[in-house]
Amino acid sequence: MKVIGVTGGVGSGKSVILSILEKEYGAQTILADLVAHDLMEPGAKSYMEIVETFGDSILQEDGAIDRQKLGSIVFADEKKLEQLNGITHPNVKEEIKRRIAKIRKKGEASMIVLEAALLIESGYEDIYDELWYIYVNRETRYERLKEGRGYTREKTDSIMNNQLSEEEFRAHAQVIIDNSYDIEQTKKQIHEILM
């Protein structure tokens, strides 16, 4: 069962690609961000170390980690972001491998699709068989993020500037999907790749 890594910059429409692969091709998807969130729940693998590193001030009343508070701390300080990544990435990678093995054992999916913005930077090439880069021109990304998430151009720029360049994404990918146009164009590209 093939594992396809799906990556791309913010606003590239990775979730649209995942939805197509799930609904039309029987793929089972794993989203690295959601795995990370699961592991930050009280009692889960990353929880204690994050609380020990960043203190009780990041906790909500119910003891859960307030991800917005944690985010405001780490995105303002590169060292703290590195600390958080040092805690979470190894745990996430291990959990993703476990979930892939479980999906393969069940044998009910046509393929496994792993989505993460940091697939390349976090060294996931030993997990996926093929990397798909979802490309969208910068202006379209601005528009989509403004409409869909209410992001300002400044916020979008700050996220984009912390991600790999288009050239770096392209250099690592085996497949490039241009998701700048309508959904039918995207579906056509996926069909051609998978057929």
Give the domain ranges of the chain.
3-26+110-194
Strands (E), the chain: 3-7, 27-31, 111-115, 130-135, 175-178
* pLDDT tens-place string over residues 131-157: 999 999 989 999 999 998 999 888 888
Confidence of residue 117 (pLDDT cuts 50, 70, 90): confident
- With a cut of 90, say whether residue 53 has pLDDT above it: yes
State the pTM of this model: 0.87
Q: Kindly state which CATH superfamily the domain 3-26+110-194 is placed in.
A: P-loop containing nucleotide triphosphate hydrolases (3.40.50.300)
Going by C-alpha positions, the residue among 129, 111, 110, 109 that lies closest to residue 119 is 129
Sign (positive or negative) of CA dihedral 162, 71, 113, 125: positive
